[in-house]
Amino acid sequence: MSQVPIQFKLNGQDKAEFIDEAATLLSVLRGKVGITSPKAGCEQGTCGTCSVLIDGELRLSCITLAQTCAGASIETVEGMDTDGKLHPLQQAFLDRFAAQCGFCTTGMLMAAKALLDKNPNPTREEVVDAISGNICRCTGYEPIIEAILDATGGSAGSYRRA
Amino acid sequence: MPLAVKTFDQLRDAASALGTDAGARFLGGGTLLMRDINEGDISITTLVRSTDRAFTEIRSSGSRITLGAGVTMSEVAAHPELQYLKPVARTVGGPAIRNMATIGGNLFAFSPYGDFTVAMLALEATVAVQGGYSSRDVPLEEFLATRDRDSKSLVTGVTFRQPDNPTAFHYSKVSRTHPKGASVLSIAAHLPASGNRVSSPRIAYGAMAPTPIRAKAAENALNGKSLDEAGIADALAAATQGCSPASDSIASAWYRNEVLPVYLKRLLLGAPN
């Protein structure tokens, strides 16, 4: 398989790699640059645990051809904290016990961040829609929904993009 | 065999590459093709892409609008001229899928998927197909009947006439999980009014046959009638004519045939699901 060069921003840092030309973004993140928060779950675009933000949009890294991300800005959970301080969503997930086995958690955080970055004061219905592509088999979803709503600061709308 | 990727500036060059390589498949949003690759489909040896702007553009001319085949569901949902299609686009997968899944790919989604195509069928869309260096416009109904026999052509866009009155367009998707989920069935209907009667209605179903289909018997029975209990009775009686739904993990064929008239009635009377 031929190797092709690719440059992109990863959590605000410039990256340059040689990758297999047909590699998925998930395999490049996990195998090449050591970013392991996106998980290899179904690899069919169904479970959502590989979710990342590409240029601010939620996408599934397992079915994204990596070379289509040339020049893009990619965000993962590794870039959510600020100087070691957890992102409000991460803190809310902790406070609300929204992670059980944890396999879906990083995808849930990405889906929630995609929502709140564009809509800091979502309704419960909008939160449910935002995580509708992410499967959790432990929590029953309620603690996750509550955590995301908590992170908005309720009606005060204290969510700020990290 | 290693998988190659070929990227072309022009759609016609991508179509030509597809036509000359038996193992080549066109990569749009990736939601269908990449899952096949991840599953180990070794018949695919080359991914063909195009960076042609026409592939991702939405262009309107008078009442007609053309969606490039690479336009995503999210882009449809956000477009000010396409707000009547927003409820359709938003029933395709979750947010990540909607950011990736394209109009062109939806034309190839296997039943019970392909809900956006159901809407396109009710709007009598035509499909722009590029075969090698020549292109042609094909009625969507004809395209769906032959799509599985023509893997060497490239869909570059769909064109349709926008409804004069957007409120004349109706859509209903029945699924077991909300807000997303595969269809038990889906219904799209364009019901233009002439006075208080329906004039030349167009109704399409998803998951009621191997591909989305037009409900022509129901359309004929509804033409010239009013949208009330008495006016829609003949259309409901003819609702399942031409249907051959599958039994799958979502619903049995029997169930689909039983509930279709129920949901068609609700749609025609403007009742909530």
Question: At residue A16, does pLDDT exceed 60?
Answer: yes
Is B198 a member of any domain?
yes
| For testing contact with chain A, the best of B1, B6, B7, B34 (most A CBs within 10 A) | B34
CATH architecture, domain A88-153: Orthogonal Bundle (1.10)
Arithmetic mean of pLDDT, A110-115: 98
Cβ neighbours of residue A72 closer than 8 Å, sequence gap 6 or more: A8, A9, A54, A55
Judging contacts by C-beta atoms under 8 Å, the chain B residues touching residue A27 are: none
Nearest to B155 by CA among B43, B244, B32: B32
For chain A, how are helix, strand and coil distributed in percent, rounded to 5? Answer: 35, 20, 45
Is B201 a member of any domain?
yes
Cβ distance of A64 and B100 shorter than 8 Å: yes
Please list the ranges in chain B whose pLDDT falls under 50.
Answer: none
| Domain of B177, in residue numbers | 166-268
Domain count, chain B: 3
Q: Return the pLDDT at A161.
A: 45
| Lookup: tokens for B203 | 């109704």
| For testing contact with chain A, the best of B5, B32, B91, B175 (most A CBs within 10 A) | B5
- Considering the domain architecture, whether residues B140 and B197 belong to the same structural domain is answered as no
ipTM passes above 0.95: no
- Considering the domain architecture, whether residues B122 and B183 belong to the same structural domain is answered as no
Q: Return the pLDDT at A86.
A: 97
d(CA A21, CA A13): 22
Cβ B220 vs Cβ B203: under 8 Å:
no
Cβ B189 vs Cβ B202: under 8 Å:
yes
Q: Which residue has the tokens 């179509």?
A: B15
Q: Please state the φ and ψ torsions of residue A25, each to the nearest 5 degrees.
A: -60, -35
Question: At residue A9, does pLDDT exceed 60?
Answer: yes
- Considering the domain architecture, whether residues B94 and B185 belong to the same structural domain is answered as no
Per DSSP, B188 falls in state: E
**Cα-to-chain-centroid distance, residue A113:** 7
Cβ distance of A60 and B179 shorter than 8 Å: no
- Considering the domain architecture, whether residues B180 and B238 belong to the same structural domain is answered as yes
Sheet holding B169-175, edge to edge: B169-175, B183-190, B202-206, B213-214
Is B205 a member of any domain?
yes
Question: At residue A1, does pLDDT exceed 80?
Answer: no
Q: Return the pLDDT at B154.
A: 94
pTM of the model: 0.94
Judging contacts by C-beta atoms under 8 Å, the chain A residues touching residue B97 are: 45, 60, 133
Q: Return the pLDDT at B132.
A: 79
CATH superfamily ID and name for A3-78 = Beta-grasp domain (3.10.20.30)
Question: At residue A156, does pLDDT exceed 70?
Answer: no
Q: Return the pLDDT at A122.
A: 96
- Considering the domain architecture, whether residues B8 and B87 belong to the same structural domain is answered as no
Judging contacts by C-beta atoms under 8 Å, the chain B residues touching residue A6 are: none
Is B36 a member of any domain?
yes
User: Domain residues of chain A, as ranges?
Assistant: 3-78, 88-153
Is B273 a member of any domain?
no
Q: Please state the φ and ψ torsions of residue B257, each to the nearest 5 degrees.
A: -65, -35
d(CA B236, CA B142): 25
CA A94 to each of CA A85, A114, A118, B55, B209: distance values in angstroms, whole numbers, following the listed order: 13, 19, 23, 43, 47
- Considering the domain architecture, whether residues B179 and B214 belong to the same structural domain is answered as yes
Is B254 a member of any domain?
yes
Cβ B212 vs Cβ B204: under 8 Å:
yes
Q: Return the pLDDT at B272.
A: 62
Q: Return the pLDDT at B127.
A: 98
Q: Return the pLDDT at A107.
A: 98
Question: At residue A157, does pLDDT exceed 80?
Answer: no
Buried-exposed string B216-247: b where 16+ CB fall within 10 A, e elsewhere? ebbbebbeebebeeebbebbbebbbeebebbe
d(CA B61, CA B83): 17
- Considering the domain architecture, whether residues B156 and B60 belong to the same structural domain is answered as yes
